[in-house]
């Protein structure tokens, strides 16, 4: 049987403490929360109606307990520092934002996403229906690669929706592209328009869209959604999602500077 001592201990573990209680060896026959109040500072005050058996027989009285309830944070806060690979060496930086060809861009995004997933304990698996396939425990990660956010890119994303229909919601699905596709024919404005037009559809089907920083393959930005169950990976994306506006501004600055230099050097 539960005693007053047990009740005291259980509430103390939660961070709530009683001022007055009956003797600890009294048996408890019932507990009811009468009122609960949480102050703006997060302190809780709970009035309990406790029925217990003492020498005088079965009694019932109100008791106040106070304290700060220790709650587990459901979502971990984003890391304060840039996430570094924990197991593998960081990938080397590229010298410029531009790609000379589609194949160069695809090779870059393939290497970057594979490196990230390997670092987070995913293993490459055998599978022919997507460009890349990784596994961690029983969960798969189907990835398609595209050099541009265009019609072909959308088809690749739609293929992932079909794969989700086939393999179910226990797996993750993602489309990976370079972060800046201007050297491949798609302006940043068009890229963002593509995401605005199709982002909702892809998010509805839980298809993640990821872009790899053209210069730094260790930085991958998530759009739409990213896997939440894998805490390590979620923590990485929680940091990089905030870095996208910063990187975007840097790129616009770089592009303006490049245009300025072109105007200066080109003959009138």
Partner 1 sequence: MFLEMTEKKFTSKDLLRQLRPTPDLAYEFSNEEVLEAAKYFLRYVGYTLEEKNWKNEPVFYANRREGGVTYEILGLVRHSMKEVADGVAQLKKIKRELGEKIEYVIALPPVQERHLIDYMAADNYKLYKDLRENTLAVWICNPQEKSVWCPQGALKDKRFTEYFKVRFAGDLMGMLATMPYRGDKGEDRRHIIEELMEE
Which x/- pattern, by CB under 8 A, does the window 52-71 give for partner 1? --------------------
Q: How many residues does the chain have?
A: 268
Is residue 206 close enough to count as binding partner 1 by CB under 8 A? Answer: yes
3-state secondary structure of 137: coil
220-223 sheet: strands from edge to edge = 123-124, 132-136, 139-145, 172-178, 207-212, 220-223
Cα–Cα nearest to 180, from 143, 229, 221: 221
- CB-nearer residue toward partner 1: 200 or 249: 200
Site track for partner 1 across 65-104, x = CB under 8 A: ----------------------------------------
Residue 204 as a binder of partner 1 (CB under 8 A): the answer is: yes
Contacts of residue 84, Cβ cutoff 8 Å, sequence gap at least 6: 90, 218
Rounded CA separation 71/44 (Å): 12
**Number of residues lying near partner 1 (CB under 8 A):** 10
139 binds partner 1 (CB under 8 A): no
Question: What's the token pair of residue 1?
Answer: 């049987």
What mask of x and - would describe binding to partner 1 in positions 140 to 179, judged by CB under 8 A?
A: ---------------------x--xx--xx----------
Binding site residues, partner 1, CB under 8 A: 161, 164-165, 168-169, 200-201, 204-206
């Amino acid at each position: 049987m539960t005693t007053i001592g047990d009740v005291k201990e259980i509430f103390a573990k939660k961070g709530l403490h009683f001022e007055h209680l009956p003797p600890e060896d009294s048996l408890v026959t019932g507990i009811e929360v009468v009122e609960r109040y949480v102050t703006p500072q997060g302190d809780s005050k709970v009035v309990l109606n406790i029925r217990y058996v003492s020498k005088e027989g079965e009694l019932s009285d109100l008791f106040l307990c106070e304290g700060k309830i220790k709650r587990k944070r459901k979502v971990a806060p984003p890391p304060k520092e840039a996430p570094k690979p924990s197991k593998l060496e960081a990938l080397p930086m590229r010298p410029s934002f531009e790609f000379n060809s589609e194949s160069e861009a695809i090779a870059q995004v393939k290497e970057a996403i594979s490196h990230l997933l390997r670092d987070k304990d995913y293993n490459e698996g055998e599978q022919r229906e997507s460009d890349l396939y990784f596994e961690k425990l029983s969960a798969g990660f189907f990835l398609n690669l595209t050099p541009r956010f265009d019609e072909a890119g959308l088809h690749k994303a739609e293929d992932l929706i079909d794969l989700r229909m086939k393999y179910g919601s226990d797996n993750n699905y993602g489309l990976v592209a370079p972060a800046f596709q201007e050297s491949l024919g798609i302006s940043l404005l068009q890229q963002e328009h593509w995401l605005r037009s199709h982002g909702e559809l892809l998010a509805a089907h839980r298809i993640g869209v990821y872009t790899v920083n053209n210069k730094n393959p260790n930085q991958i930005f998530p759009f739409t959604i990213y896997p939440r169950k894998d805490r390590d990976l979620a923590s990485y994306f929680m940091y990089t999602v905030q870095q996208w506006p910063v990187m975007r501004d840097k790129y616009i600055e770089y592009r303006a500077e490049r245009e300025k230099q072109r105007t200066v050097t080109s003959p009138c």
